[in-house]
Structure 1
């Protein structure tokens, strides 16, 4: 290279080259900054999207569990209502049955022959369940004479069935307000 001074055209050419070089460097630097900014934006965007997805998933899970609980509560309520209705109907049927039985016993108690036969059967069943040598039989005071006949017949039937004897103490201490029947206690009351 020569050491002569550059003329104006050469200076202008050199300056244009330098300006072009600086411009090229600036464009590359701007592109690098843009690429880096785009990458950082994409990373930040992905992070935010992931956070929101987790938040939405958590919210959905909470709502799903709440719906499950509500469904279980509704099912339980329905089951309980159904059970209560069933119990109520059962209670009504039992009350009807008790009422019918009471009416039947009252009617039966008015027919002395059938009532003695009924009491004999019930007393024999009681003897067979207790299998005790001494039994106290309670009945209404107004059934005392009927009870005596029923106890005698029941004692004979019990001996025929079981081969055992039973000592019976008839008592007339049940309330006259009840429909009828007997109550058996093992042992004697005196």
Structure 2
């Protein structure tokens, strides 16, 4: 190589500076690319983690919300059932009280002897028609024997007029109604095997069974949840 083609030290220094600057520039650009790529990957990973954490939070919240709803429903149901039971209990107490008061007033029907005799006659006639026998007995309170005799006379006469048959009626003095009875009587037929209980206490029980639905409706209104009445 000739001397004229040789590079001077200054020229070599300048070339080295250029190469260094170029390499440095390349390195900076590569570094920026890496930094941008890293930022993008970081953003993607961050977004992924945020979505996962949000989903986890949403799932946990949904479970807690459902649990809270279920707990609220159970509480409401429990309170509603307790309230319903209290209402039913209070209603039953009122109904029991009504019939208890009615039972206490049963003896009031015996105070007017004339009306009571008519009641005894009508109770007898019910038994006469039901038994359709020629010979029966009646059981009443000892205190009512005088009234029973009058009622027997009236009932026997009316029975003959309505049915066209004679009927023999006697008082079963060996088996009177308890003195604690409120009143009324029993009609015995079938040779003592059939006993139609027409005492005031028994008639009140029948009334309680038969009239209870109507009494409930009168006091509390119709039951909207009830579909069948027969």
1:27 CA drift (Å): 0.8
Q: CA deviation at 1:117?
A: 3.5
**Residue of structure 1 equivalent to 2:193:** 189
Q: What's 1:89 paired with?
A: 90
The aligned runs of 1:152-171 (5 Å cut-off) are 153=155, 156=158
Counterparts in 2 of 1:86 and 1:9: CA distance versus 1, 3 Å: same
Superposition deviation, residue 90 in structure 1:
1.1
TM-score by length of 2: 0.57
In the TM superposition, residue 112 of structure 1 has moved relative to its aligned partner by 4.3
Q: Is the 8 A contact 1:140 1:180 kept in 2?
A: yes
Instruction: From the superposition, tell whether residues 88 and 5 of structure 1 become closer, same or farther in structure 2 (CA, over 3 Å).
Output: same
Q: CA deviation at 1:31?
A: 0.8
Deviation sequence 1:16-56 (CA, Å, 0-9, x none): 11111111111111111111111111111111111111112
Tell me: CA distance 1:142–1:121, structure 2 relative to 1, closer, same or farther (3 Å): same
Unaligned runs of 5+ in 2: 195-230
Name the Cα RMSD after superposition.
4.3
Matching of residues 1-190 of structure 1 within 5 Å: 4-118=5-119, 142=142, 145=145, 149=151, 153=155, 156=158, 179-181=182-184, 189=193
Q: Return closer, same or farther for 1:116/1:89 CA change in 2, 3 Å cut-off.
A: farther
**Secondary structure of the residue that 2:44 maps to in structure 1?**
helix
**Larger mean Cα displacement after TM superposition, 93-102 or 40-49:** 93-102
- The count of corresponding residues between Structure 1 and Structure 2 is 182
Structure 1 Cα separation of the partners of residues 183 and 25 of structure 2: 120
Deviation per residue, 1:62-101 (Å, 9 max, x gap): 2221222222223223322321221222122112211211
Say whether the 8 Å CA contact 1:120–1:153 is kept in structure 2: yes
Asked if 2 retains the 8 angstrom alpha-carbon contact of 1:121 and 1:154, the reply is no
3-state SS of paired residue (2:5): coil
CA change 1:67–1:180 in 2 (3 A) is: farther
Contact 2:120–2:184 (8 Å) recurs in 1: yes
